[in-house]
């Protein structure tokens, strides 16, 4: 791939990342573990907040043929090292690469392009994003 094409592709990705970051805001905190301690004279309850650290998409890369499809899943990663499936907002870049529909924490991606190209499936959740690389080729 020529240097000019590489720069062009990376510039598009950078612009997309900045746009998603700008629109999404910042991460959120969620309530974590609640602990109740009782002894002979008193009872105390404390709640430890955990924060959303990042999100991930699985698989992180996918090679597909024209007309193919793939299921991607989204997972939240929390500050206390726990993970959980999430209902992310899904998108595709470039938009002519394919379509993605939501099914719980999964996104079903269907190739709609008729030319060999590469792009990204993107999950957004509470101001955070993750992306998976998708390459489409002829059968």
For residue 103, what are the contacts with CB-CB under 8 A and spacing of at least 6?
Answer: none
From residue 98, give the alpha-carbon distance in Å to each of 7, 26, 29, 54, 104: 23, 28, 33, 25, 19
Total count of domains within the chain: 1
In this prediction, residue 85 has a pLDDT band, given cuts at 50, 70 and 90, of very high
Separation CA 62–CA 120 (nearest Å): 10
* Structural domain span for residue 95: 3-137
Q: Record the pTM.
A: 0.68
The residue that leads in pLDDT, 124 or 35, is 124
Share of the chain above pLDDT 90, in %: 57
Domain CATH for 66: 2.60.40.1080
Check whether the bond before 12 is cis (ω within 30° of 0).
no
pLDDT of residue 114: 86
pLDDT of residue 9: 55
Contact status, residue 110 vs residue 128, Cβ threshold 8 Å: no
């Amino acid at each position: 791939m020529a240097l000019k094409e590489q720069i062009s592709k990376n510039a598009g990705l950078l612009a997309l990342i900045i746009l998603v970051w700008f629109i999404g805001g910042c991460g959120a905190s969620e309530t974590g573990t609640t602990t109740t301690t009782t002894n002979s004279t008193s009872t105390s309850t404390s709640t430890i907040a955990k924060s959303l650290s990042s999100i991930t998409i699985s698989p992180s890369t996918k090679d597909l043929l024209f007309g193919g499809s793939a299921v991607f899943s989204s997972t939240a990663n929390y500050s206390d090292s726990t993970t959980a499936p999430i209902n992310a907002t899904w998108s595709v870049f470039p938009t002519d690469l394919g379509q993605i529909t939501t099914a719980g924490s999964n996104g079903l991606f269907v190739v709609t392009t008729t030319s060999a190209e590469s792009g990204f499936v993107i999950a957004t959740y509470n101001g955070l994003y993750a992306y998976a690389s998708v390459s489409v080729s002829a059968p």
